[in-house]
Amino acid sequence: MKEIESKEIQKWKDQYPLLSKLISMEEIFWFNPNIEKFQTGIKKSPLIQEDVRDAEERLKRFAPYIAKVFPETKKMNGIIESPLVDIPSMKQSLERNYQQPILGELFLKCDSHLPISGSIKARGGIYEVLKHAEELALQHQLLTVHDDYSILDSDRFRTFFSQYSIAVGSTGNLGLSIGIMSAKLGFNVTVHMSADAKQWKKELLRSKNVNVIEYEADYSKAVEEGRIQADMDPTCYFVDDENSHDLFLGYAVAAVRLKKQLEELKITIDENNPLFVYLPCGVGGGPGGIAFGLKVLYKDYVHCFFAEPTHSPCMLLGLMTGLHDRISVQDIGIDNITDADGLAVGRPSGFVGKTIEPFLSGNYTVCDEQLYMLLKELVDTEAIRLEPSALAGMIGPIKLFKEGTDYLQKHNLTKKMNKATHIIWGTGGNMVPEEMMAEYYRKGLKLTLNEQ
Ligand SMILES: *Cc1c(COP(=O)(O)O)cnc(C)c1O
C-alpha cells in the first residue's frame, strides 16, 4: 500500500479527534462508537456459538493424546488451561501508584503459564495444528472421531504426517506453539520469524527440529514471505495468523473454560455484576477470539477492551478509521518498534477487526516504559513473572476509571462497579529465560526509581 497522502491524514485528524495523539504516540483510550447490543451484533458475525462448541469438542478429542505426549498436561487430563488468580496486592499497588481506586475485584488470567508454550498462543496455535492433523488423518481413514486419539503418538502416524509440512509467520510466540505442536505430531514445520523475534525462541525451536527462517523485516513481511513459500508447496499448510478462523476459534474456547473457573470461585456475572476484560492485542486473533467467546456466553454483561503499544496501535487505527487491514501504523508515520514483541504488529487482521467491531467496548494504548514498570510491580507484589507484552492489560482498570466515566454512565454501570470483576489477560512469560526476565525487572526498577 502506498504512503497515505498527508492531505488525507489531515482530513482524518479533523474527523477523528484522537488521531493526532495516536500519531504522536501518546497514550490514548478510544471507546468504540460502533458497539452494539449482542443480539444485533451477532447477526453480522461470520462465526456463531456452534463453531466455538465444535472447537471445544475437538480439543476434548485430542486431550488423551496431549496428556500422553506433554506430561505436564497430565494432571489436567490433556486440557491445556491456565489458572485464574486474584491479585489483591497488585490492585493496592496500582491504586496507590496511580491515585485511583479500582472498584470491584481484580484477577489475572495466567496464560503466561499455559503448558507447552507459555503464552496465549498455546490456545489458537495448537488448536489449528490439531485441527489440520485431524482432517488429514480422517481423510486418509487412519482415524475416526470415536477413536482414542492417543494412538496418534506412534511411528505410524508420525510417518504419515512427515509427508506434510506446516508453515507460519510469527514474532515469536505463535512460532513456538505451531512449531512445538507440529514437530511433536511429525510434521515438517517452518517458522518465518520477524526481526524482533527473540534469539532464545529461535534456538528453542531449532532444538526441537523446527526450521527457522529469519527476516530483517517486521511481522507482516515474515507472514508474506511464509505465505509465498508455502504456496509453492502443495503439501504445505500455511497457518494464516491474519485471516484464520481456526486460530480465532481455538482462542474462543478460553471463554468456556473461564466461565467454569468463575463459577468455581462463586463469582456471578449478570446484569448487576458486570465483567471487564483487558486483553493485549497484536494482529488481533488472540484477544479477538477470547472476546468473541466471552460475548457469546455473557452477552451485554461483559465489556472487553484491547490494549496495544503506543508504537503499534494497529487494531485501534483500523477500527477508528474503519479501514481495518487497509491501513498500517507505518502509513501514518508510526514506527512499529516496541519491546512488546508479541504486539509488534503494524497492520491488523481485517477478519478480526470486522468480526469484533460490534462487540468491542474500546481500545487503549500503553507505552513500553509503563509495561516494564508494571512488570516489576507484579513481581514485587504477587511474585508473578510476565513478559512485557503481557502487562498491557494491567493498566486497563486504572484507565477505565480515569477516562471511561461516559462509557460507564451510558451503559448504566456506574452504580454497579463495586460489584464488578476485572480480569487482566496475562498473555505470556513463563518460557522467558531467567536472565532475560531479570533484565526486564531491572529496566522496570530503573524506570520506577526515575519516576519517583
Ligand atoms: C500474540 C500475543 C498477543 C496478542 O495476540 P494476537 O493474536 O497477535 O493479537 C498478546 N500477548 C502475547 C504475549 C502474545 O504473544
- Which sequence spans correspond to the domains of the chain? 6-50+67-117+246-451, 120-242
Does domain 120-242 correspond to CATH entry 3.40.50.11890? no
CA of 345 to the centre of ligand 1 (A): 10
Q: Is 397 in the pocket of ligand 1 (CB under 6 A)?
A: no
pLDDT at 96 over 90: yes
Q: Separation of 142 CA from ligand 1 center, angstroms?
A: 34
DSSP H helices in 233-367: 245-264, 285-298, 314-321, 350-356
Residue 121 confidence (pLDDT) above 60: yes
343, 352, 431: residue to mutate for ligand 1 pocket, most atoms within 8 A of CB:
343
Amino acid, res. 268: T
Ligand 1 site, residue 281, Cβ cutoff 6 A: yes
Ligand 1: does its nearest atom lie under 6 Å from the Cβ of 119?
Answer: yes
Which residue's CA is the closest to the ligand 1 atom numbered 14?
342
**C-alpha 57, offset from chain centre:** 21
Residue 121 Cβ < 6 Å to ligand 1 = yes
CATH class of 6-50+67-117+246-451: alpha beta
Q: Which of 113, 114, 119 to mutate to test the pocket of ligand 1 (most atoms within 8 A of CB)?
A: 119
Ligand 1 nearest atom to the CA of residue 285, by list position: 7
- Ligand 1 atom closest to the Cα of residue 287 is 9
Mean pLDDT of 319-330: 96
How far away, in angstroms, is 343 Cα from ligand 1 center?
6
Q: Which pLDDT band, with edges at 50, 70 and 90, does 340 fall under?
A: very high
Closest residue (by CA) to atom 11 of ligand 1? 427
pLDDT tens-digit profile of 209-254?
999 999 888 888 888 989 998 999 999 999 999 899 999 999 999 9
pLDDT at 41: 96
- The residue whose CA is least distant from atom 2 of ligand 1 is 342
Note if the pTM is more than 0.85: yes
The conformation of residue 428, written as its DSSP 8-state character, comes to B
Work out the average pLDDT over 127-134.
98
CB 62 within 8 Å of CB 149:
yes
pLDDT of residue 451: 86
- Range 135-150 burial, b when 16+ CB lie within 10 A, else e: ebbeeeeebeeeeebb
Tens digit of each residue's pLDDT (9 = 90 or more) over 167-185: 999 888 999 999 999 999 9
Helix (H) or strand (E) holding 30: strand 29-31
Ligand 1 midpoint to CA 239 (Å): 15
For residue 386, give the amino acid letter.
L
**How many angstroms is it from 232 CA to the middle of ligand 1?**
28
Mean pLDDT of 376-395: 98
Instruction: Give me the pLDDT at residue 1, please.
Output: 43
Q: Is the pLDDT of residue 427 over 60?
A: yes
- Residues 6 or more apart whose CB falls under 8 angstroms from that of 74 comprise 67
Q: If you average pLDDT over residues 15-34, what whole number do you get?
A: 96
Per-residue pLDDT, averaged over 365-372, amounts to 98
CB 280 within 8 A of CB 267: no
The CA distance from 37 to 302, in Å, is 11
Cell of 86: 486474584
The residue written with cell numbers 505465505 in the block is: 227
* Measured distance CA(372)–CA(352) in Å, rounded: 28
- Put the strands of the sheet holding 29-31 in their side by side order: 29-31, 362-366, 302-309, 275-280, 421-426, 105-110, 84-86
User: Quick check: 196 pLDDT over 50?
Assistant: yes
Per the prediction, the chain carries an average pLDDT of 95
- Greatest Cα pair distance in the chain: 66
* pLDDT score of 3: 54
Whether ligand 1 lies within 6 angstroms of the CB of 125 is answered as: no
Above pLDDT 90, what percent of the chain? 91
Looking at residue 30, its pLDDT comes to: 98
Average pLDDT on 109-125 reads 96
Indicate whether residue 284 lines ligand 1 (CB < 6 A).
yes
Mean pLDDT of 185-199: 92
Judge contact between 124 and 285, C-beta under 8 A.
Answer: yes
In one letter, which amino acid is 420? A
Ligand 1 lined by 331 (C-beta under 6 Å): no
Question: Which atom number of ligand 1 is nearest to the Cα of residue 112?
Answer: 13
Distance CA 289, CA 375 (A): 25
Q: How many residues does the chain have?
A: 452
| 120-242 matches 6-50+67-117+246-451 in CATH topology | yes
pLDDT for 37 beyond 90: yes
Q: How far apart are CA 403 and CA 2, in angstroms?
A: 35
**Ligand 1 centroid to residue 342 C-alpha, Å:** 5
Question: Is the CB of 120 within 6 Å of ligand 1?
Answer: yes
Residues 244-298 pLDDT 10s: 999 999 999 999 999 999 999 999 999 999 999 999 999 999 999 999 999 999 9
- Beta strands in 111-251, from DSSP E residues, in sequence order: 165-170, 188-193, 211-214, 236-239
pLDDT above 70 as % of the chain: 99
Place of cell 466515566: 405
pLDDT, position 341 = 85
Residue nearest to atom 15 of ligand 1 (CA): 342
Q: For residue 373, what are the contacts with CB-CB under 8 A and spacing of at least 6?
A: 444, 447, 448, 451
Alpha carbon of 452 to those of 340, 429, 434: distances in Å? 24, 27, 27
Per-residue pLDDT, averaged over 186-192, amounts to 96
C-alpha 120 chain-centroid distance: 6
